[in-house]
A = this chain, B = another copy of it.
Amino acid sequence: MEIKREKWSKNFSEWLDWVLFGGEFYDYGRYPLKGVGIWLPYGFKLRKAVVDLIRKLLDETGHEEVLFPMLIPDSLLKKESEHIKGFEEEVYWITKGGSEELDVKLALRPTSETAITYMESLWIKSYKQLPKKYYQIVSVFRYETKATRPLIRLREVTTFKEAHTLHVDFDDAMRQVKEAIEIYKKFFDELGIPYVISQRPEWDKFPGAVVTYAFDTLMPDGRTLQIGTAHHLGQHFTKAFDYKIQKEDGTLDYPHQTSYGISERVIASLISIHGDDRGAVLVPSVAPIQVVVIPIPAKNQEDTNKVIDYAEKLRKKLEEGGVRVTVDKDMDKTPGEKFYIWEIKGVPIRAEVGLRELQNSSVTLKRRDTLEGKVVKLENVLEEVKKLMDEITQNLKKRAWENLNSRIRYAKSVEEANSLLEEGVIVEVPWCGEESCGLKIEEMTNAKVKGIPLDDRKVSDPCVVCKKPAKTVLRIAKTY
């Protein structure tokens, strides 16, 4: 068998729709409202595994989970001027309760900086309580006017993990931004999702941030997807709320803040990046089902029953070893039909058992990532499955990183950049550091500036626009 990735890369948008619904992850486009979808049971389990992973990483680094109100009164949301300017065209407003007009219109939160700063100002008065790290996992809403896409550009983002931290000074907040970046690296590494980290340019920071760092990955169609951001907010919000704390030397000052977030885009990239023409390929650590057992019917019912008993024996053995396993006993479907479905769903390992396996006390294991098969003894099946899961994890991660690394290219001129961009890659060009040149690059390439690499790079070539000496490289890409 051969892994094909033609449909996957050439018709990515259709591919994703097909996998999300066909694999029973997410129903999109059928609910009578644009830009929202439904997490189906199988997809919900994947989402839960991903959420549990980020929760674990945040809990073990001293973040405390909280839950803030969904509704933010008009006056509160408008407190910080850059922030509201950035969001005002995207906010849903509630103006009525029952048949009454509300006195104050209420926003569905687009993000929670204002609500959290307000409450922090009541709770935290002294440097002794700092640093303080909160997070919540909630729905946020954006009235998107651009074309919406399942899990990628939604009007209801149902899986927004937003962390908000408070610090005594600028440096401690910067230290926190770096901690956030390390946490996200671990998170994406565990999922085998490759990324580049860029400092966003001044004109594309989070509204209200001093500096924004972003994780971008590259989707099969060659467009980048922003999958995580971390912002140093400085004193923007605390000044807007006139919120001071007592410092160690007894003086009062505005504390510094950070915020950092991820969303279901992580799940979009998880499903997309590892996939192929047969569907998703899930990383074993978060796969709702790690092994699906398919009993192959025999010629007579008696033997078929024996095969089913054998499949159950296999299930028990794996389950006792901590493997998430299911037996597909649906008698209305042929094995081929079952293979088709479970491949879309991306179950990492398929275990086929028929009369031959029963007679030999063996199991035929098929890897979803390479489509390779292997016959193993029943007595060794647990260790073989665990070994295979490790290999699949390593292979997916390696393949994804190699793909990304081969698609980051350097260009010395705008023309060269433009021709590379057509190949669906991230292009790095030398840049003088001036905003005007950066904006010019966006204009001349019809791509988006993603920013400068976190590991700031020196180049000897001149800026692609003004030809003055370049200070660094600027990343550009076609983007979601």
Give A residues with C-beta under 8 Å from B.
27, 30-33, 36-41, 44-45, 47-48, 64-73, 75-76, 88-100, 105-106, 108, 115, 118-119, 122-123, 134, 139, 141, 143, 145, 155-156, 158
| Residue in chain B with minimal CB distance to A155 | B71
Q: Are B98 and A32 in contact (CB under 8 A)?
A: no
| Residue in chain B with minimal CB distance to A40 | B66
User: Closest Cβ of chain B: how far from A247's Cβ, in Å?
Assistant: 17
Known contacts A94-B94, A96-B93; is-contact A73 B118 (Cβ 8 Å): no
Report chain B residues within 8 Å CB of A65: 41, 44-45, 48
* Contact partner, A119, options B31, B91, B141, Cβ 8 Å: B31
Report chain B residues within 8 Å CB of A92: 94, 96-97, 106
Q: Is the interface of A mostly helix, strand, loop or mixed?
A: mixed
For the complex of A and B, the 6 pairs showing the least CB-CB separation, nearest first, are A97-B143, A41-B64, A39-B67, A89-B98, A36-B69, A93-B96
Q: Are B139 and A38 in contact (CB under 8 A)?
A: no
| Residue in chain B with minimal CB distance to A76 | B32
Known contacts A37-B69, A73-B33, A119-B38; is-contact A88 B99 (Cβ 8 Å): yes
Give Cα A27–Cα B134 distance, bound, in whole angstroms: 15
Known contacts A69-B38, A91-B98, A98-B91; is-contact A106 B32 (Cβ 8 Å): no
| Residue in chain B with minimal CB distance to A93 | B96
Give Cα A68–Cα B158 distance, bound, in whole angstroms: 9
| Residue in chain B with minimal CB distance to A41 | B64
Give Cα A143–Cα B123 distance, bound, in whole angstroms: 28
Q: Are B41 and A106 in contact (CB under 8 A)?
A: no
Give Cα A27–Cα B108 distance, bound, in whole angstroms: 20
Give Cα A70–Cα B141 distance, bound, in whole angstroms: 10
Known contacts A89-B98, A90-B98, A158-B67; is-contact A106 B44 (Cβ 8 Å): no
Report chain B residues within 8 Å CB of A93: 94-97
User: Closest Cβ of chain B: how far from A399's Cβ, in Å?
Assistant: 31
Q: Are A68 and B143 in contact (CB under 8 A)?
A: no
Give Cα A99–Cα B71 distance, bound, in whole angstroms: 18
Q: Are B96 and A139 in contact (CB under 8 A)?
A: no
User: Closest Cβ of chain B: how far from A125's Cβ, in Å?
Assistant: 14
Q: Are A143 and B98 in contact (CB under 8 A)?
A: yes
Give Cα A103–Cα B201 distance, bound, in whole angstroms: 36
Report chain B residues within 8 Å CB of A69: 31, 33, 36-38, 156
Report chain B residues within 8 Å CB of A89: 98-99
User: Closest Cβ of chain B: how far from A147's Cβ, in Å?
Assistant: 15
| Residue in chain B with minimal CB distance to A88 | B98
Give Cα A69–Cα B156 distance, bound, in whole angstroms: 7
Report chain B residues within 8 Å CB of A30: 119, 122
Sample of 5 A–B contacts (CB below 8 Å): A27-B123, A41-B65, A90-B97, A91-B97, A139-B139
Give Cα A73–Cα B35 distance, bound, in whole angstroms: 13
Report chain B residues within 8 Å CB of A44: 64-67
Give Cα A105–Cα B101 distance, bound, in whole angstroms: 14
